[in-house]
Structure 1
Amino acid sequence: MPKDSTDSAKRATIYRMVMPDHLCPYGLKSVDLLERQGYEVDDHHLTTREETDAFLQEHGVETSPQTWIGGERIGGYDDLRRHFGKKVREEGETSYQPVIAIFAVAAAAAFALTWGLLGTAIAIRTAEWFVALSMCILAIRKLEDVESFSTMFLNYDLLARRWVPYGRIYPYGEALAGVLMLGGILPWLSIPVALFIGTIGALSVFKAVYIDRRELKCACVGGSSAVPLGFVSLSENLAMVAMGLWGIVKLAL
C-alpha cells in the first residue's frame, strides 16, 4: 500500500499517468478535486506504460488514477466524487441537462439579438428567434450522427416507423426550417416544413408517453441522448407548430 503521511488529517496520495504522449485527464481532475476539498496531495506520476501496468497489477485494480486517504484506497475519479458526496452520473441515467443548456443558450442569444438589433429588451421577434435558434441547435446535435439519431427516432416516431427514410430526412428539415425562420425568409417553405415535422412529432410523443405509457429516451438532442421522452419533447414539437401557425398569421396580416 502506498505510504500515506499521518501528520495531517487532510492529506491524500494519488498515483496517476503522466507520460510524454498521454496525460490522464481524470488524474488532473482528481488532484483538483482533492485540493478543492482542502487536501495536501502527494502526487505520484506513472511515467511509462510498464510502470503503470506494474502498479495496476500490484494493487489489483484495472484503471488509474487511484487515490488513498488515511491509508484507505478510495479508487478512481468517480469513486472520489462519491467519497465526498458529490453527484456521479450512472450509466444509462437520464438527464435534462442537454436540453436545458440548448434552450438557455438559445434564449440568451435571442435576447442579445433583440437588444443589439432592435434596441429593446424584449419583442415578439425574441420568441421567434428563440424557437428558430433552438431548432438550429437541436438540428446540429442530430446531424452529428444522423444514423444514430434515426435509429433512436424509430422507437416512437409514427411516420418514421411507416417510412424509415423519414428518420434520416428529419434533421435536415428541422435545420432548414430553423435557418429560414431565423432570417424570416422563404416563409412559403419554412412554414409547411415546421408544421409538418412539428405535428407528426407532437402526435408521436403524445402517443408514446401519454397513451402507451412507454419510458423512452428522446432523440431530440441526437442518438446518444440521455434525455427522457416526455413533456420537454412534446413542448419542442408544439413550439415548431406554433411557429408555423404564427408564420401563417403574419402572412395574413
Structure 2
Amino acid sequence: MSTTTFDRSTTGQTRVGDRKAVVHRMVMPKHLCPFGLKSVDLLKRAGFEIEDHWLTTREETDAFKAEHGVKTTPQTFIDGRRVGGYDDLRRHLGRAVADPKAVTYKPVFAIFAMAALMALAASWAAFGTLATGRAAEWFVAIAMCLLAVQKLRDVEGFSNMFLGYDLLAQRWVRYAYLYPFGEALAGVLMIAGALTWISIPVAFFLGTVGAFSVFKAVYIDKRELRCACVGGDSNVPLGFVSLTENLMMVGMALWMALRMV
C-alpha cells in the first residue's frame, strides 16, 4: 500500500460522495498497529474511500497525538470530524463493540466444537467412518485435554478462581494445583485407551468432586461466580456448562469401566 505525505490539513477535507475517510495510523519498521489495519479494513468494507496516513516515527506519532489531544492511534476522521479509535469507529458505523468484562460461554463452546471435530477426524482416519463409539469417547477425552491446556497456561491464576468454589481444594489447597495435571493425564490416557486403571478413577474422582462443588455453589448457595474450567482469566459463568463438563468426565469413566466388565 502506498503512503500519503503527512499533512494535518487533510483532517478537515470534504468527503467524496459522502464516503471518504482519513485514517492516521502507526506504520513503523518494528511496529505495525493491528487496530490501524482493522480500521482501514472496516472502512473499506463499509464503502469508504480512504486517505491513509502513516505515522512512521515515534516523534511523528507523539506530535499527532499532542495536536489532536488524543492518547492512542489509530484515529479516523470522517467529514472533517474526528471519530476516534477502532472501537469508536465501530460504534460510529453501527457495529457491536465487545465488552472484555462481559460473561460469555464462547471459550467453552469453541473448545467443545473443536474437540468434536477432532474426534470425528480421528474416527474417519482410523475407521473410515464418522459414526463410531470411539469418536464419542475421543470427543470427551480430547475436550478434557483442551480444557486442561487452558488451565495449564496459568496454574496460579486457575487455582485462585478454582478455590472460590471447589469443596476439596478449599480443604486441601494443593488439589487446586494438581487438578489440571490430573485432567490432562486422564484425557491423554483415554485417547490412547491405555492404563485405564489410572484414567478411569482419576476422571471419575475429578468429575464427581467437581460436579458436587459446582452444584452446591450455583444451585444451593446461589452464588454468582466465574468458572475456572477454561483458565483463571475466564469470563465464563459458573453454572450448567461447568456442571456438564464434570458430568461428562464421570460418564466417560463409568462408560469405560462398563466396557471392561
Same fold (TM over 0.5): yes
Q: Of the candidates 93, 103, 115, which is equivalent to residue 102 of structure 2?
A: 93
Query: What secondary structure, in the 3-state scheme, does the structure 2 residue paired with 1:121 have?
Result: coil
Unaligned 5+ runs, structure 1: none
CA contact (8 A) 2:15 2:78 kept: no
CA distance in 2, matches of 1:13, 1:229: 44
Deviation at 1:227, TM superposition (A): 1.1
Q: Of the candidates 224, 227, 230, which is equivalent to residue 215 of structure 1?
A: 224
| Structure 2 counterparts to residues 1-253 of structure 1, below 5 A | 2-252=11-261
Deviation at 1:82, TM superposition (A): 1.6
Residue 6 of structure 2 corresponds to none
CA distance in 2, matches of 1:139, 1:118: 27
Unaligned 5+ runs, structure 2: 1-8
Deviation at 1:73, TM superposition (A): 1.4
CA distance in 2, matches of 1:30, 1:6: 17
CA contact (8 A) 1:4 1:68 kept: no
Query: What secondary structure, in the 3-state scheme, does the structure 1 residue paired with 2:179 have?
Result: helix
TM-score normalised according to structure 2 size: 0.94
Provide Cα deviations, 1:61-84, integer angstroms capped at 9, x if missing partner: 111001111222111111111222
CA contact (8 A) 1:10 1:39 kept: yes
Deviation at 1:6, TM superposition (A): 2.8
How many residues are paired up? Answer: 252
TM-score normalised according to structure 1 size: 0.97
Between 1:78-87 and 1:7-16, the stretch displaced more is: 78-87
CA RMSD of aligned residues (A): 1.1
Deviation at 1:243, TM superposition (A): 0.6
